[in-house]
Amino acid sequence: CCPPRPYENQRYTSLKKECLRRKQLFEDPLFPANDDSLFYKSRIQGIQWKRPKVSVPVPLPHNTRLHDLLVSCSAAASTHRAFDGWLDVVIDDRLPTLHNQLIYCHSNSRNEFWCALVEKAYAKLSGCYEALDGGNTADALVDFTGGVSEPIDLTEGDYITDEAKRNLLFERVLKVHNRGGLISCSIKATSAADMEARLACGLVKGHAYAVTDVRKVRLGHGLLSFFKSEKLDMIRMRNPWGEREWNGPWSDTSEEWQKVSKSEREKMGMTVEDDGEFWMTFEDFCKYFTDIIKCRLINTSYLSIHKTWEEAVLRGDLLESSHMLPRPSFGHRDVFPADCPTVISAQVELNRNYRMHTLQQKVASSIYINSRSVFLRTDLKEGRYVIIPTTFDPGHEGEFLLRVFTDV
């Protein structure tokens, strides 16, 4: 793996050495403590930039959930992402406050600032803090992990009424979770006034939740629970705010928990606290949530016993839309994921002479959307295929990264 590249050629060790020599705290000249680092359109009066002052610094906790940060710092589509490796972003610790409170991402603990500092690095990479508002969580997951994000619109799949389809989705979500992937979910807001509106069930619209556990829960008590085969598909979520939970069936204090033995509850890590974390059945989840994003973490190390993918990278210098190619319609998705800032269309070509004369049949296409990252999942039979990337707007050019992953 290549070492991280210094963003804007700022090298941490050199900057630290110079600050120690001058006996001065670092002030980042590339991301100054002013409105230009905060906004590109809006303005808020009275903001003060302050450095954290704690008597005992709190290190990054062992049980930190990366999602708490990711769903709070989802990036705008204009984020400058490195195609060929990680970026090392240097920041100072001056943070924007209003009335002596952090404005953006913050922890419940007043001595814990890691999330606000990482958010600042992401804001610097994106241009300013405002660029993070209303951003794309799928893109943020890719930026922070290098994984592959698959967004799913739960309103288009009949997951509420089609039990077989819902069960298949649950198995896929469970597989991603068990392999260490990251998952987030949200409820679409239909208007600006709807953003972060709280529903009667306790859930919040236009707000991303982290999925922290997915499992089949055994019902019953004592020996009966082992002989009965009845299990319930359940999913646990966490509101990054650390409060405001689901209050329906299987919420913290609901009577449904009497159906589960004490040992099973302990195994699940079940707690009755207003900490923003709660359980739901997967059926209720599909009923209330409108979107879910599965981010697979790609393990390509030859030394790992948990290796899941082989990886090959193709870099393109030119990408151009063609007016001759029709905008593709949505196709079936299952095994062929690709993550790139393009539309991926897989098509069959039957000529065996390694030259393409005609495209015989369109096999599948991703949804045509103006997004930095596009994902396609589909079943493909053995054969030769052509992948045709196109940009959303005709004539637009740019670099792109194409990644193809298969189970076999």
310: its two tokens: 């082989």
- In 75-136, which ranges are continuous DSSP H helix? 114-126
Strand bridging mode 48-50 / 95-98 = antiparallel
Cβ atoms of residues 72 and 115 within 8 Å: yes
Q: Which of 136, 207, 295, 340 is catalytic?
A: 207
Identify whether 167 is a catalytic site residue.
Answer: no
Q: Which of 73, 105, 128, 286 is catalytic?
A: 73
Identify whether 128 is a catalytic site residue.
Answer: no
Number of other residues whose CB lies within 10 A of the CB of residue 155: 13
**Length of the chain in terms of residues written:** 408
Task: Write a three-state SS string for 185-248.
Answer: EECCCCCHHHCCCECCCCCECCCCEEEEEEEEEECECHHHHHHCCCEEEEEEEECCCCCCCCCC
Q: What is the CA radius of gyration of the chain?
A: 24
Bridge-partner residues for 294, per DSSP?
A: 150, 183
Burial label for 357, CB within 10 Å (0-12, 13-18, 19+), is exposed
Q: Which of 239, 286, 295, 340 is catalytic?
A: 239
Identify whether 207 is a catalytic site residue.
Answer: yes
* Active centre residues (catalytic): 73, 207, 239
